[in-house]
Structure 1
Amino acid sequence: MTIRLTPYEYAIIQAVPRIERGELINVGVLLYSQRHDFLSAGTHLDEARLRALDPAADVQGIRSALEAWETTCTGGGAAEQMRLGERFRWLVAPRSTILRAGPVHMGLTADPAAELRRLVELLVH
């Protein structure tokens, strides 16, 4: 039995609580696989690490923003009429907000959901 690996793209979701300082923590991974018709965000906010950067950080605001990214992945809200690739490109576009995506990287996988879990464990936890 041959496992067929297909390409995917991913970006690390970063929280930047004080944009003027440029400090950030990884809070999630966004993974898109066109061949698997898959787009999802795996997130984890470590409040202690966030507060180490900014003791006054708006934790609930960041959690809400992460939920909005997850909603965009599933096609909710303003992304309702967008295809998966359009949603991914929208989310990884440069921005100066409390959440941003890092550079887009590529990989190969047979199981995008499992790969997303692996990347979240490796890059966020």
Structure 2
Amino acid sequence: MADLFEYAVIRVVPRVERGEYVNVGVVLWCQRAGYLASRYALDVDRLTALDPYVDRTVIAAHLDALRRVCAGGAQAGAPGSLSAGERFRWLTSPRSTTVQTSPVHSGLTHDPAAELERLMSLLVDPPGPPDNVGGMRPLRRRRA
């Protein structure tokens, strides 16, 4: 039986007032499997296309903080003591900062870790050329 999971796309919004963003990662929560994790890959070229003056050090620090909150524990500060589900809700609450998450979406999976990688490929990796069926691109395997 497949498990319900929830996820949100992690976005970098270099200039909040402009509303432009680059998808850089995914945070995924699967309660039944007790799985909360995030992955991110910062594409500097795509980011600097939106804002050549973006402070990549600040963005990297925000993304690292998000990763620590996912992992939980003392290194995550106050949110680290929350349950995994509470940390997911804390991470996906709306905010007006340079690192934001999309609305929460859900699905079913047998393997939350593989689902996280599939979503990274689909939503974060640069799009490949369309295939011949309806203009959709095939999913690519992520490199380790």
Q: Same fold (TM over 0.5)?
A: yes
1:30 paired residue among 27, 31, 52:
27
Partners of 2:80 and 2:87 within 8 A in 1: no
2:119 is matched by which residue type in structure 1?
L
4+ residue runs over 6 A deviation: none
TM-score, length basis structure 1:
0.95
- Cα drift, residue 114 of structure 1: 0.6
1:30 is matched by which residue type in structure 2?
V
| In 2, Cα distance between equivalents of 1:121 and 1:59 | 22
User: Which residue of the partner structure matches residue 95 of structure 2?
Assistant: 95
Larger Rg: 2
RCO comparison, higher one (Cα < 8 Å, 6+): 1
TM-score, length basis structure 2:
0.83
RMSD: 0.7
Structure 1 spans left out of the alignment, 5+ residues: none
Percent identical among aligned pairs is 52
- Cα drift, residue 121 of structure 1: 1.0
Give the SS at the match of 2:81.
coil
1:25 is matched by which residue type in structure 2?
V
| In 1, Cα distance between equivalents of 2:94 and 2:79 | 17
Work out whether 1:65 is the aligned partner of 2:59.
no
Structure 2 spans left out of the alignment, 5+ residues: 126-144
Partners of 1:11 and 1:105 within 8 A in 2: yes
Matches within 5 A, 1:1-125: 4-75=1-72, 76-125=76-125
- Cα drift, residue 41 of structure 1: 0.6
| In 2, Cα distance between equivalents of 1:80 and 1:123 | 27
Q: How many residues align?
A: 122
2:61 is matched by which residue type in structure 1?
S
Partners of 2:38 and 2:67 within 8 A in 1: yes
